[in-house]
Structure 1
Amino acid sequence: MSTKARTVAEIGLLLYPDCQLSAIYGLTDLFRIANDIARAASPTDVHAIRVSHWRQEQGGLIACIFDTDPGAPHALTHVVAPPSLIVPEQMQKMTAFSDWMLGLHRGGTTLCSVCAGAFVLAETGLLQDRAATTHWAFAETLASRFPAVQVDAGRMLIDDGDIITAGGILAWTDLGLTLVERLLGPSVMLNTARFLLIDPPGRAQRPYEQFVPKLGHGDAVILATQHWMQATGAKEISVAALAERAGLEERTFLRRFKQATGLRPTEYAQQIRVAKAREALELTRTPVDQIAWHVGYGDASAFRRIFQRVTGLGPAEYRRRFGVASERSVALA
């Protein structure tokens, strides 16, 4: 005679407009696999995670449209706002969802978000004065729209107990495994990760970040400087030389450059050089010291320190994780 599983949590997944359905169904599958692993490990004392999907109906009512344990009274312990398939600037306000989530939180429900789902969660006001993460490309928008949120896009997941935020668009795997570990234990979590061939939680976003320069600021003089820096690889530059090239007094140049780009010229140059180094590490087998020299660093040890600070990984570790070049790949010219 089979033993009926005891529900340890009900996780509600939000189907808001333009949400990423692969995250909804992926999390549903991940929790089902974790439940199966838990059942196999302890067939006489089965614990299980219940999953339900929630959508806004006409009139603003939030209703359940899918349930792994239909008919049983709902007792949502966790609610997850998944990623969006559109950029945050195009997302509509989710007042009905945020009000619903706020009420659940008052009753003890843990609220979670993944990627742009942080914007839905932030509408509750519960992220005020809290650390939260989102996709690195959306971090500035989140900080601008909700200035009281302490946005930390370098982290893939921030677990603040009653609020959990995850960063990248596929960070729902990190969130899912974190919840499995919390609810079913570390052994079930690790076996679930092994079965799905995904890394356990603990990654950072910084190695995945891409330098995206701000070019739409409207300052033509600074834009011309940016174009020149990009074209030359930002090698052998000085603030004085850049200011002279821009035809500005040095202090004025520094102020306008920081206002337009969000970075000091030296920081901007480092981003350009590191981006070129990342490409070389990914696509070639060129020695690290040679890459350092090629992108403008005469001191290889200084390059390693800067690369580590920007990406969170040393050059050798970065190549090990992201390199796609074979041993026969052509080195840098």
Structure 2
Amino acid sequence: MIGIGLVIYPGAQQAAVLGLTDLFGVANRIVVSHQKERVPALRITHWRQDDSNRPPNCVFDSCPDEPPEALSTLILPPSLSEPIGVDDAASLTAWLRNRHAHGIALGSVCAGAFVLAATGLMAGRRMTTHWSHAELLQERFPEVSVDADQLIIDDGDVITAGGLMAWTDLGLKLVDRFLGPTVMFETARILLVDPPGREQRYYSVFSPRLTHGDAAVLKVQHWLQATQAKDVALATLAAQAGLEERTFLRRFQKATGMTTTEYAQRLRVGKARELLQFGNASVERVAWEVGYSDPGAFRKVFTRIVGLSPSEYRRRFSAGQGAVK
């Protein structure tokens, strides 16, 4: 049997722990139905940390009558609470580092990424978390490469998933790894969930930095928001800020982390997503409404930022009926 452990740290979402247990249970039943010996392929254990000064201990075992076996993977589920602080997880992260050093793969979902990053094992490596946590994760762990566009990043000995419900994607990814694609697709079919392959940027919204402290740049940000970034000429923006053009460009990028062009594109695409989701105007009309005279250029920018074409986005997320495709 392949051992998968779910770590119940302070604030961990119980629904995800139980959901993953059930997902792996479904995969087990599929495997058993194709075997003569009725032995589950996956052994699921829960590890709870009752004392912040001590490592977790096993509080649940799906196969309690079987001899103990080594774990293959430990998963840090999401949390509905604020991401756990480094100082609050010292003994837990030490335990995780030790387990990893003995060949156990580690996984995290959503805010579980903060515990994983606190181990120090992600320095110089890519990981994902919920898009709303991405900036905080990057601030706390600048040595980590945070890629919140991705819903799941499988890096072999470490696998991270972004959204709060992305435990389904991580669970299916592990079923695929350990039991093969046939069992994974059958598990997804029974649970009526999409197989892995989605991207988090399909769902994320643009959240501009507004707490950087540069009043001149903030004034331009508010003006761009109010005007829906219709006029992004450098001379206009610099005049709004009351700065020389080169000084404005340097300060804008430092404050927002983006060029003015990138910033305006994200504002425009954010408005376009809203129009595509809740309206029925043609893609060409939407392009015009958000400031693009060339629909082809709009489609390229939209697809690069969202990961779907405007038409694909509408088909997937339209809130109404009869939308123009």
Q: Give the aligned partner of residue 61 of structure 2.
A: 67
C-alpha separation between the residues in 1 aligned to 2:101 and 2:84?
29
- Cα distance in 1 for residues equivalent to 2:22 and 2:38: 22
Tell me the residue number matched to 1:174: 169
Letter in 1 for 2:110: C
Query: Once the two structures are superposed, what CA deviation does each residue of 1:290-320 show, in whole Å capped at 9, x if it has no partner?
Result: 0000111111111111101111111001111
CA distance in 1, matches of 2:226, 2:286: 18
What TM-score does the superposition give when structure 2 sets the normalisation length? Answer: 0.94
1:38 paired to 2:31: yes
Aligned pair partner of 1:208 in 199, 203, 211: 203
User: Is residue 318 from structure 1 mapped to residue 305 from structure 2 by the alignment?
Assistant: no
Of residues 147, 160, 163, the one that matches 1:165 is 160
Q: Residue type matched to 1:53 in 2?
A: H
Matched AA of 1:49: L
C-alpha distance 296-145 of structure 1, shift in aligned 2 (>3 A): same
| 1:90–1:106 CA distance, 2 compared to 1 (3 A) | closer
- The answer on whether the counterparts of 1:240 and 1:250 sit within 8 Å (CA) in structure 2 is yes
Task: For residue 74 of structure 2, give the secondary structure of its aligned residue in structure 1.
Answer: strand
Question: What displacement does 1:164 show?
Answer: 1.1
Moved more, 115-124 or 187-196: 115-124
Structure 2: distance between partners of 1:223 and 1:89: 30
Please give the residue correspondences for 1:216-235 in structure 2 after superposition, counting only pairs within 5 Å: 216-235=211-230
- State the alpha-carbon separation in 2 of the partners of residues 87 and 172 from structure 1: 18
* % identical aligned pairs: 53
Task: Tell me what 2:8 maps to.
Answer: 15
Contact 1:38/1:48 (8 A) holds in 2: yes
> Which runs of no fewer than 5 residues in structure 1 stay unpaired?
1-6
Taking only aligned residues, the RMSD between alpha carbons, in angstroms, comes to 1.8
Mapping 1:93-108, distance limit 5 Å: 93-108=88-103
Q: How does 1:266-285 map to 2 (within 5 A)?
A: 266-285=261-280
Whether 1:28 aligns to 2:21 is yes
SS of the aligned residue for 1:19 comes to coil
**How far off its partner does 1:87 sit?**
3.2
Would the alpha carbon gap of residues 187 and 45 (structure 1) be closer, same or farther in structure 2, given more than 3 Å must change?
farther
With normalisation by structure 1, the TM-score equals 0.92
CA contact (8 A) 1:47 1:184 kept: no
Deviations 1:215-251 (A, max 9, x none): 1222222222111111111103311111112211111
Q: Does 1:52 align with 2:29?
A: no
Deviations 1:276-300 (A, max 9, x none): 1000100111100000001111111
Question: What letter matches 1:52 in structure 2?
Answer: T
Answering whether residue 150 of structure 2 is matched by residue 147 of structure 1, we say no
Structure 2 gap ranges (5+): none
Is 1:111–2:121 an aligned residue pair?
A: no
Q: Does the 8 Å contact 2:86/2:115 carry over to 1?
A: no
